[in-house]
Amino acid sequence: MVKHPFLEIHSGRSSRWYFCFVSGLLKKIENNYRNLIQQHDIKSRIRDDNTVNFDQLISTRFRWSLYAIALILYIGTFIIRGQFSAVINTVGLMIGFIKTGIIIPFVYIPIGVEFAAIYTSIHIDLPRRVRRADLEMDFTDPMNFGGMYYFGELIRHSYYMFIILIIAFLFWTYAPRVSDSIIYYPYPEAGFETTVQFIIFWAIGTVFLVHSVWIFHAHMTKAKREKVKEINQHFQELGDDDRSIPETQPEMKEILYVQLEHDKSRRVRDMHEYPFNAEMIYQLVLSVLLPLALERILNTIF
């Protein structure tokens, strides 16, 4: 029989490679976070609340709480739907026990929980920590992001990983429809319930993204506005009138200092108010729309 490529994700070997790939992405994101905190001196930029902890992206308590909830939901769903007898009839007692009693609860669920914990921490907890600590902008940043560029990278990469997961979910659920004429497929076809689950999953991930972007934007805009106001006050103190640059009239001996302040003001005014540039925002918008458009196309065709 011909094996359709859509079905590869359901095979044990392909599933293992897929989860290894996701595990590698999760590890990379955590390493990127550690490098951000250590190499860019984040702790020295904390202004307001010294109790804010940036040492860990995810707290151990939060990770274990999510795992306990996921395990309870898995066991409860398994019992309520009476799936154990179906598993035994399909693959046998031993293989069924290994898959449903060991591999899923102690391999697949922990990986899923790790993703949920990292994604939630990056898009919900981390932006609030930055705001609570009133993290200072680095106005000497040559990239003009106020030292927030690598926070933006964390947000983007975690959302791209989310997109990979939900597109894989699409391949998983629509494989039966695609493969009907090619090979017998024992899994149920995607229906209205699957579409609702996908849209809810997509909407939650997108709301998380909007939340993190908005908080970083608000924090960067506030810091930029305060810095511009501070610089303008310096000009007013140096000048002979109450107006700010360029109407001030400083003494000759202060011209060099005023010029330096002028350059600083221009650099601050030019700072991005998002942890992304226009091209990155365009890529994010496409990433948000891509899975929804793909789901609609698959649903219409198949």
Residue-level pLDDT at 42: 85
Give the CA diameter of the chain: 92
Q: Are 27 and 33 in contact (CB under 8 A)?
A: no
Read off the pTM: 0.81
Residue-level pLDDT at 80: 75
Determine whether 154 is exposed, middle or buried from the number of CB atoms within 10 Å of its CB (0-12, 13-18, 19+): buried
Return the percentage of the chain with pLDDT > 90, whole number: 25
Residue-level pLDDT at 16: 67
Q: Count CB neighbours of 211 within 10 A.
A: 14
- Dump strand ranges (E) for the chain: none
Q: Count CB neighbours of 149 within 10 A.
A: 19
Q: How many CA atoms are closer than 13 Å to the CA of 48, on its beta-carbon side?
A: 10
DSSP string, 46-91: --S-TT---S-SS-HHHHHHHHHHHHHHHHHHHHHTTHHHHHHHHH
Residue ranges of the chain with per-residue pLDDT less than 50 = 1-11, 179-187, 240-244, 252
Q: Which of 164, 190, 193 is nearest to 175 (CA)?
A: 190
Residue-level pLDDT at 212: 95
Helix pair 109-120, 149-179: axis angle to 10 deg: 140
Residue-level pLDDT at 1: 36
Determine whether 24 is exposed, middle or buried from the number of CB atoms within 10 Å of its CB (0-12, 13-18, 19+): exposed
Summarised one tens digit per residue, pLDDT across range 221-240 is 999 999 888 887 877 776 64
Residue-level pLDDT at 88: 72
Give, as one character, the DSSP assignment of residue 107: I
Q: Which of 4, 19, 12 is nearest to 168 (CA)?
A: 19
For the CA atoms of 14, 19, 21, 22, what is the dihedral angle to 10 degrees?
A: 140
Q: Which of 113, 179, 136, 173 is nearest to 48 (CA)?
A: 136
